[in-house]
C-alpha cells in the first residue's frame, strides 16, 4: 500500500468521524437507489428510495439529490439500475433504450457538467463492449457506477487535504451554497472544515444562506453544526460587512462547471462573493474534482445557465406569498465567476494557480 493511500485512508476515517458520508447508495437488491432527501433537511434526516427513471429525473430536478459530484454518482447508479431491467433485450434495443434514458436524465439539470460526464462514461461502456453481449455489458455498467463513486471519494479526500493546506488555525472562511458530503461523497469546498475539526483545528466558518433555495442555511449550517464546526449563518447581503470587519481570511466555494479558461459556474451569488472579496483583498478558491472541468467549454459565456421556477422566489418558503401575484421573476440557478477573481482552483491533482488557461491545459495534457 502506497504512502498516499495510507494517508487517504486516515483522511477518510477522520471525515467519517464528523460528517455524513452515506448520502447515495445502491440498494442491496439493486432495484433502487437510496438517497438522503436533501429537501427535508434540516427538519429531518430522511432516506428515500428511487426506483425508476421518472423518480430519478424528479430527484435531480427537485433537488432531493444535488451537488455536481453527487448528481454524477447518482446518474451512474441510475443507469445501471435501469440497464438491469433491460438485460434480456437485443443489443440494438438495449442501446436505443439506454440512449433514450440517458438523454432524458441529462435534461434534468443542464449546468452541472458531472451529470453529462457520468452519463457519457456509462454510455461508453455500452458502445465499447458490444461484442460481449448485453448481460456482460450490464455487469460492466455496475463496475463503472461503483468506479465513479469510489473515484469521487478519493478525489474528495485529496481535495480536502489540499484545501486544508490553504488554511491555518483560527482562520475565518466564508462559503456560499453547499459543497459538503451531502453534495459530493466526502466534501469539496466544505470538506476541509470537517477535516480541520477532526484534527483539532479551529476554523470559523461563515455560511451564506444562499437564496432562494437556502442551501447554505438548510444544508451547510446543518452539516457543519452537526460536526461541531464553529459556523455562523449569515444572509447573502451580509457578506460585505463580515469581510469589512476582518473576520474572513479566505472564501471557499464549490463548482458545477469550470471552463477551459478558469471561469467557474457555481450557485447564484458566487460571483458577487468573489467581487466583494477582490475589493477587500481576500483570496477566493473554487474546490472541485477535475471531472468538473470542461475543456471543451472555452469560457463562462458558453456555459448554459439553468433557469428555475419563479415561485421559488415568490412563494416557496412562506405560508403566504412573499411577492405580488404574477410579478415577473428572474431565477437563474447559477452564475459565472470570472477567472480573474479567483486565487486558485483546488482539484484532486493539486492547486491550480493563474494563468488558468495555461495551467488547466497543462494539467490535462499531463494526463494523456
Catalytic residue (choose from 37, 208, 256, 263): 256
- C-alpha closest to that of 117 among 89, 95, 90, 148: 148
Please say if 256 is a catalytic residue.
yes
Compute the distance between CA of residue 64 and CA of residue 35 in angstroms, rounded to an integer. Answer: 8
Phi/psi for 104 (5° steps) reads -65, -45
Compute the distance between CA of residue 200 and CA of residue 194 in angstroms, rounded to an integer. Answer: 10
Q: Please state whether beta strands 204-208 and 172-176 pair in parallel, antiparallel, or not at all (unpaired).
A: parallel
- 130: helix, coil or strand? helix
Compute the distance between CA of residue 273 and CA of residue 48 in angstroms, rounded to an integer. Answer: 34
Compute the distance between CA of residue 12 and CA of residue 142 in angstroms, rounded to an integer. Answer: 23
Compute the distance between CA of residue 79 and CA of residue 94 in angstroms, rounded to an integer. Answer: 12
CB atoms within 10 A of CB 197: 22
The three grid cell numbers given for residue 55, joined into one nine-digit string: 423518480
Active site residues per annotation: 256
Amino acid at each position: 500500500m502506497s504512502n498516499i493511500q495510507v494517508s487517504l485512508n486516515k483522511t477518510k476515517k477522520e471525515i467519517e468521524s464528523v460528517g455524513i458520508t452515506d448520502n447515495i447508495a445502491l440498494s442491496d437488491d439493486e432495484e433502487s437507489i437510496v438517497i438522503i432527501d436533501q429537501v427535508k433537511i434540516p427538519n429531518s434526516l430522511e432516506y428515500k428510495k428511487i426506483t425508476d427513471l421518472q423518480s430519478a429525473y424528479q430527484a435531480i430536478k427537485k433537488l432531493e439529490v444535488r451537488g455536481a459530484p453527487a448528481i454524477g454518482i447518482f446518474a451512474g447508479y441510475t443507469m445501471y439500475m435501469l440497464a438491469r431491467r433491460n438485460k434480456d433485450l437485443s443489443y440494438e434495443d438495449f442501446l436505443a433504450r439506454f440512449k433514450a434514458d440517458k438523454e432524458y436524465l441529462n435534461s434534468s439539470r443542464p449546468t452541472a457538467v458531472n451529470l453529462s460526464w457520468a452519463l457519457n462514461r456509462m454510455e461508453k461502456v455500452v458502445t465499447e463492449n458490444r461484442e460481449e453481449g448485453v448481460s456482460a455489458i450490464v455487469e460492466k455498467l455496475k463496475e463503472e457506477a461503483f468506479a465513479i463513486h469510489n473515484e469521487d471519494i478519493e478525489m474528495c479526500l485529496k481535495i480536502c487535504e489540499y484545501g486544508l493546506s490553504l488554511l491555518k488555525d483560527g482562520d475565518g472562511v466564508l462559503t456560499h451554497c453547499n459543497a459538503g458530503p451531502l453534495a459530493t461523497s466526502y466534501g469539496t469546498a466544505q470538506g476541509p472544515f470537517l477535516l480541520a475539526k477532526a484534527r483539532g483545528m479551529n476554523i470559523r466558518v461563515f455560511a451564506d444562506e444562499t437564496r432562494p433555495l437556502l442551501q447554505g442555511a438548510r444544508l451547510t449550517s446543518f452539516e457543519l453544526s452537526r460536526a461541531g464546526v464553529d459556523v455562523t449563518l449569515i444572509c447573502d447581503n451580509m457578506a460585505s460587512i463580515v469581510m469589512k470587519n476582518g473576520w474572513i481570511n479566505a472564501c471557499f466555494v464549490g463548482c458545477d462547471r469550470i471552463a477551459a479558461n478558469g471561469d467557474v459556474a457555481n450557485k447564484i451569488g458566487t460571483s458577487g462573493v468573489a467581487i466583494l472579496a477582490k475589493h477587500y483583498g481576500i483570496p477566493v478558491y473554487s474546490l472541485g474534482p477535475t471531472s468538473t472541468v470542461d475543456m471543451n467549454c472555452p469560457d463562462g459565456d458558453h456555459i448554459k445557465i439553468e433557469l428555475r421556477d419563479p415561485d421559488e422566489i415568490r412563494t416557496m418558503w412562506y405560508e403566504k406569498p412573499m411577492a405580488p401575484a404574477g410579478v415577473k421573476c428572474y431565477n437563474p440557478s447559477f452564475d459565472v465567476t470570472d477567472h480573474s477573481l479567483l486565487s486558485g482552483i483546488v482539484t484532486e491533482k493539486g492547486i491550480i494557480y493563474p494563468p488558468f488557461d495555461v495551467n488547466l491545459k497543462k494539467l490535462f495534457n499531463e494526463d494523456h
